Chain A
Amino acid sequence: MRKLFFVLFTATVAVSAWSQKDSDNLVFVKGGTFQNLQSSYYGKGITIPDFYVGKYEVTQKEWTEIMGSNPSKFKGDNMPVQMVTWYEAIDYCNKRSTKEHLKPYYDIDKVKKDPNNECERDDLKWTVTTNAGAGGYRLPTEAEWEYAAGGGQMSKSYTYSGANTVDKVAWYWKNSGDAELTGFWNWPAIEKNNGKAKPVGGKEPNELGLYDMSGNVREWCWEWYRDPDANGNIVRAPAHGSMRLWKGGSWMGGDFCCELSFRAGYEPNFRGSDQGLRVCRSK
């Protein structure tokens, strides 16, 4: 009996330790309405439920442990994974969920072409649907991303995630290379200055303790992206499209991309040395 108790106790401690270690890189985000005055969602009456979000962008170590290979251009265990398509990001979420005995959030049909996918350059067009209520890893929605980047209920209404000065919190084209660049964005200058992604967590965190939500690599979100309409109105979560949404800006792009309200899209099957992801989970 004592032996059994000892075994059970040891196993419980081990599982608890594993869970604790695993959850170390997930931050609990208390839900509510948008407090950040700079958010494009502020005052829109939208309430975000509680959820968990990655403290860091998914690192190459985390990616390789799940996917078995590392597609990144700029290598390093503690660097954010890059060169991942939206499809691979979705696949990663499910495989990581399975490994951690969580119910996968996505149903992925790699054969059936998604009729809502209008991207002429996309030769995959997987059909991806969600399992509402599943506790597995997933990509954040734009609203969740912006809520977390804006500091949630602890928001200080910063323009960037964690500061009003971009250099405090973000790696972007001016500060991601050998020397500080100035002036207008210039790709030859960035390239010759060895601009690149940086190890995660190298800048100051935001109000919730999240790192690199502004800059380093752009982060895939769930929704389709569409440019504003002819009157400049934002089109949120269209039912179909040709690009998936990203947020946060990157080491390659301008400071304006690092503003938490900035939004743009990228073909779901494209790879970029500035494109990565951050996972989240429902509570």
Chain B
Amino acid sequence: MKEQKLFGKGLLLGSACAFLFSVTQQVNAGTGTDHGFFWSLFVSGGSANISFPSAGQFAGNYAITWSNVGDVVGGKGWQTGSTHSIGYNCGSINGFNNFSVYGWTTGPLIEYYICEMGSVASGGVIDTISSDGHNYNFYKHQQINQPSIQGNATFWQYLDNWGGSSTGANHSVTTANHINNWKSHGGQGFGAFNYQILATEAFGNRSGSVNATVWGE
């Protein structure tokens, strides 16, 4: 999982108004709230910027562009997640590795991904669930004594991988379906929600952009 540079090792989101926020070779990008959503942008190597071009009309809208990045992760979401269904519309995306609902729980400590575009597949498939009209393969991966939102810890990553979403259309992620399957077949139960976001990650000197809108359903 480490090799894949999933945003498991971090995802900053943050605040702001509807103006352009630029970062170059920084480790701490801007962050905060915009139109009721948390947002953040992290970039390591290269450059990236985030803006909220249509947030006045669609509160969860954000756009990120990046150039020759070592790793960039960014998006919008909620400080405390829930089992709510999540809607999104990705207007455009290119030069990325994965586009996922991403979050953490504590007690047990679990890092989870619901991958809508790209891939987070790793290891063996535990089972397959059908949700929102398509199938996700559920992968489990254990991180042993690795950094986490609680500090160094041993924890599981739950990775539901689809990757077949499309741009220019509304989509739903019925989060409860994923959580129920994790509770039933994950083997660790499921804990208290920490943050939960719709995020994009790119790495490996890629350049690209995303323009997407997220909302709770």
- Chain A residues with CB under 8 A of B28: 179-182, 189, 193
Q: A272-B151, A275-B151 are in contact. Are A189 and B42 (CB under 8 A)?
A: yes
Q: Is residue B27 contacting chain A, with contact meaning CB distance below 8 A?
A: yes
Chain B interface: which size bin?
35 or more
**Chain A positions 143 through 187: 1 when the CB is less than 8 Å from some CB of chain B, otherwise 0:** 000000000000000000000000000000000000111111111
Give the docked Cα–Cα distance between A180 and B27 (Å).
11
On whether the beta carbons of B152 and A252 are closer than 8 Å, the reply is yes
On whether the beta carbons of B12 and A181 are closer than 8 Å, the reply is yes
Name the CB-closest residue of B to A192: B27
On whether the beta carbons of A267 and B145 are closer than 8 Å, the reply is yes
- Chain B residues with CB under 8 A of A228: 107, 191
Give the docked Cα–Cα distance between A236 and B73 (Å).
38
Name the CB-closest residue of A to B28: A181
- Chain B residues with CB under 8 A of A189: 10, 12, 27-28, 42
Q: Is residue B169 contacting chain A, with contact meaning CB distance below 8 A?
A: no
- Chain A residues with CB under 8 A of B57: none
**Chain A positions 248 through 283: 1 when the CB is less than 8 Å from some CB of chain B, otherwise 0:** 011011101100000010110010111100000000
Q: Is residue A133 contacting chain B, with contact meaning CB distance below 8 A?
A: no
Give the docked Cα–Cα distance between A266 and B152 (Å).
8
Name the CB-closest residue of A to B44: A188
Give the docked Cα–Cα distance between A272 and B150 (Å).
12
Contacting residue for B150 out of A190, A193, A232, A264, CB 8 A: A264
On whether the beta carbons of B10 and A188 are closer than 8 Å, the reply is yes
- Chain B residues with CB under 8 A of A264: 106-107, 109, 150, 153
On whether the beta carbons of B10 and A187 are closer than 8 Å, the reply is yes
On whether the beta carbons of A188 and B151 are closer than 8 Å, the reply is no
Among A184, A253, A272, residue most surrounded by chain B Cβ atoms (within 10 Å): A184
- Chain B residues with CB under 8 A of A50: none
Among B13, B30, B152, residue most surrounded by chain A Cβ atoms (within 10 Å): B152
On whether the beta carbons of B149 and A273 are closer than 8 Å, the reply is no
On whether the beta carbons of B152 and A272 are closer than 8 Å, the reply is yes
A280 → B minimal CB distance (Å): 22
On whether the beta carbons of B27 and A182 are closer than 8 Å, the reply is no
Q: Is residue B84 contacting chain A, with contact meaning CB distance below 8 A?
A: no
Q: Is residue A230 contacting chain B, with contact meaning CB distance below 8 A?
A: yes
On whether the beta carbons of B152 and A274 are closer than 8 Å, the reply is yes
Can you show 25 pairs from A to B with CB atoms below 8 A apart? Answer: A182-B14, A182-B28, A182-B30, A183-B12, A183-B29, A183-B42, A184-B12, A184-B79, A185-B195, A186-B11, A186-B42, A189-B10, A190-B147, A227-B107, A227-B188, A230-B189, A249-B150, A252-B151, A254-B149, A264-B150, A264-B153, A267-B145, A267-B154, A272-B151, A274-B152
On B, residues with C-beta under 8 Å from A are 9-15, 27-32, 38-40, 42, 44, 71, 73, 79, 104, 106-109, 144-145, 147-154, 188-189, 191-192, 194-195, 197
In the A-B complex, list the 3 residue pairs whose CB atoms are closest, starting with the nearest.
A186-B10, A183-B31, A183-B40
